[in-house]
Amino acid sequence: MPDILIIGSGGVGSVVAHKCAEVAKSGGPFSRITLASRTVSRCEAVAKSVLERYGVSLDTRTVDADDEKSLCRLIDEVKPALVLNIALPYQDLHIMNACLECGVDYLDTANYEPPETAHFEYKWQWAYRERFEKAGLCALLGSGFDPGVTNVFAAWVVKHELDEVHVLDIIDCNAGDHGQPFATNFNPEINIREVTARGRYWERGEWVETDPLSWSMNYSFPEGIGPKSCYLMYHEELESLVENLPGIRRARFWMTFSENYLRHLRVLEDVGMTRIDPVEFHGQSIVPVQFLAKLLPDPASLGPLTKGRTCIGNLMKGVKDGRTKTVYIYNICDHESCYAEVGSQAISYTTGVPAMVGAKMIVEGLWKKPGVWNMEQMDPDPFLADLARYGLPWHCVEVSEA
Ligand code: NDP
């Protein structure tokens, strides 16, 4: 059975390590699991928890993934079949380069973003298609929840529920509460860059821009979660989905935020704390959002504090057998259950489980194709079967009105 290398030992990396160990323990397709990050003590803390919960030993290593030579040395030493990039989007291209150099498959959960510009786009990673194809290697992009499961949900609806999809609304609701005045539930720098960016959606063949968080709608979430305000944002899966869903007329992404989160964010923006350009301070160059991220709670520390549920899914309207049909496909995940299982809150959990399942699809050969792929380009059925099996059950219901 193949060995795997996980890079990044934060909130999401910890869940990936736990879930890979769970699969390995039950005779799944992973053999030796190595967890590497810049700070080896974080890897060791995760390894201790994994050993206690599953009796599986992880190898731990230090690596700076921005240094491609060190990365190659680590890959040559560990000899994994697959590298799971669970570090930050800034590392994507370095890790893809190292995978090509060393001849191993690649997976990540977020698309490349240059540190100096708050702008993410697949063009940098799609430019690797030919090189991965020629090398006979597989790179799977965005194997988290959104992007990730939302892409696979779209593919499953196209395969089983609709002949044509005309309208797609991805709606991400975190109805949980961590009790902190202000905290982000994944990496604070990446989260704040994403949320403060201009909104963008696809309508009739072109991208339409909106001011940040200037559009909102009310959506009533199922299973007792109830109505919440959702704000239109740009999100990376829209870019690949509008390419891969033929006939799509409108595609949008929405996320819920509490009034408290938005109030804090507005103040931080107004005083310049979300800026991403360097500022001279006492003879040192400081990037305000990075300093802010240092002061905010570590997302991995929110596990024991967070209560409530997440509900993330796709509302998709189109045509089936000549009649208009709308379906809602979603998962609900409980923060406290995730903490009891792997010691993490649900945002890390809902990202980490699909990363493990994507890795399983590649090493089992079900999704292993040479090239660079977005999730909706693969067969959704085996992925969604394993997603439910390993902790994220999902449902698809027909709704009367979109
Ligand atoms: P954290 O900040 O908690 O963890 C990031 C980890 O990356 C840390 O362990 C850090 O190491 C490591 N890291 C950063 N830079 C380097 C480097 N140069 N070399 C090696 N390791 C490095 O972030 P999260 O766990 O919350 O998020 C991880 C990824 O998941 C992000 O890319 C995020 O965008 C993505 N994500 C995707 C979602 C989806 O649904 N698709 C949802 C949520 C997150 P150290 O601590 O040692 O410095």
Indicate the pTM of the whole model: 0.96
- Which long-range contacts link 297-301 to residues 24+ away (Cβ below 8 Å)? 297/178, 297/180, 297/183, 298/10, 298/11, 299/10, 299/11, 299/183, 299/184, 299/185, 299/186, 299/187, 299/188, 299/345, 299/347, 299/348, 300/10, 300/11, 300/14, 300/344, 300/348
288 preceded by a cis bond (ω within 30 of 0): no
What's the confidence (pLDDT) of residue 195? 93
Architecture of domain 4-141: 3-Layer(aba) Sandwich (3.40)
Q: List, in sequence order, every residue forming a beta bridge with 170; answer none if it has no partner.
A: 253, 314
Token pair 């991403």 in the structure block, residue: 276
Top mutation candidate among 37, 84, 152, 233 for ligand 1, by most atoms within 8 Å of CB: 37
44 Cβ inside 6 Å of ligand 1: no
Share of the chain above pLDDT 70, in %: 100
Residue-wise pLDDT for 201-251, tens only, equals 999 999 999 999 999 999 999 999 999 999 999 999 999 999 999 899 999
Q: Is the dihedral of CA 9, 347, 244, 393 positive or negative?
A: positive
Angstrom distances, CA of residue 5 to CA of 72, 100, 106: 12, 15, 10
Indicate if the pLDDT at residue 402 is higher than 80: no
Taking residue 320's Cβ as centre, other Cβ atoms within 10 Å add up to: 15
State the distance from the centre of ligand 1 to the C-alpha of 180, rounded, in angstroms.
21
Looking at residue 55, its amino acid is G
Token pair 């959002």 in the structure block, residue: 289
What's the confidence (pLDDT) of residue 383? 98
Indicate if the pLDDT at residue 401 is higher than 80: no
94 Cβ inside 6 Å of ligand 1: no
State the distance from the centre of ligand 1 to the C-alpha of 113, rounded, in angstroms.
13
Helix (H, G, I), strand (E, B) or coil at 292: helix
Which of these, 33, 31, 81, lies nearest to 60 by C-alpha position? Answer: 33
Inter-residue contact 318 to 167 (CB < 8 Å): yes
- Residue nearest to ligand 1 atom 13, measured at CA: 87
Taking residue 292's Cβ as centre, other Cβ atoms within 10 Å add up to: 17
Indicate if the pLDDT at residue 311 is higher than 70: yes
State the distance from the centre of ligand 1 to the C-alpha of 88, rounded, in angstroms.
4
Angstrom distances, CA of residue 367 to CA of 221, 359, 372: 32, 9, 11
State the distance from the centre of ligand 1 to the C-alpha of 224, rounded, in angstroms.
32
What's the confidence (pLDDT) of residue 1? 86
235 Cβ inside 6 Å of ligand 1: no
Indicate if the pLDDT at residue 197 is higher than 60: yes
State the distance from the centre of ligand 1 to the C-alpha of 148, rounded, in angstroms.
16
Question: Atom of ligand 1 at shortest distance to CA of 91?
Answer: 18
State the distance from the centre of ligand 1 to the C-alpha of 169, rounded, in angstroms.
27
Mean pLDDT over each residue of the chain, to the nearest integer: 96
Residue-wise pLDDT for 370-381, tens only, equals 999 999 999 999
Instruction: Return the CATH number of 149-344+391-399, one of 3.40.50.10740, 3.40.1160.10, 3.30.360.10, 3.30.565.10.
Output: 3.30.360.10
The beta-strand segments (E) located in 204-322 are 206-210, 216-221, 226-233, 250-256, 279-281, 284-286, 309-320
Residue-wise pLDDT for 273-305, tens only, equals 999 999 999 999 999 999 999 999 998 899 999
Domain ranges across the chain: 4-141, 149-344+391-399
Q: List, in sequence order, every residue forming a beta bridge with 369; answer none if it has no partner.
A: none
Top mutation candidate among 7, 12, 151 for ligand 1, by most atoms within 8 Å of CB: 12
86 Cβ inside 6 Å of ligand 1: yes
Q: List, in sequence order, every residue forming a beta bridge with 329; answer none if it has no partner.
A: 314, 396
State the distance from the centre of ligand 1 to the C-alpha of 153, rounded, in angstroms.
24
- Residue nearest to ligand 1 atom 34, measured at CA: 110
For the segment 165-170, the average pLDDT, to the nearest whole number, is: 98
Angstrom distances, CA of residue 38 to CA of 41, 62, 71, 84, 88: 9, 5, 11, 15, 12
Residue-wise pLDDT for 357-372, tens only, equals 999 999 999 999 999 9
* N-to-C CA span, the chain: 46
- Residue nearest to ligand 1 atom 14, measured at CA: 87
Token pair 């890390």 in the structure block, residue: 348
336 Cβ inside 6 Å of ligand 1: no
For the segment 71-89, the average pLDDT, to the nearest whole number, is: 97
Q: What is the CA radius of gyration of the chain?
A: 20
What is the C-alpha separation between 350 and 330, in angstroms, rounded? 12
Within the chain, what is the greatest distance between any pair of CA atoms? 68
118 Cβ inside 6 Å of ligand 1: no
Question: Atom of ligand 1 at shortest distance to CA of 39?
Answer: 47
State the distance from the centre of ligand 1 to the C-alpha of 8, rounded, in angstroms.
6
Q: Are 4-141 and 149-344+391-399 the same fold in CATH?
A: no
174 Cβ inside 6 Å of ligand 1: no
Q: How confident is the model at residue 59 (pLDDT cuts 50, 70, 90)?
A: very high
Residue-wise pLDDT for 91-147, tens only, equals 999 999 999 999 999 999 999 999 888 888 999 999 999 999 999 999 999 999 999
Q: Is the dihedral of CA 361, 93, 34, 295 positive or negative?
A: negative
What's the confidence (pLDDT) of residue 116? 86
Looking at residue 364, its amino acid is E
Taking residue 45's Cβ as centre, other Cβ atoms within 10 Å add up to: 16
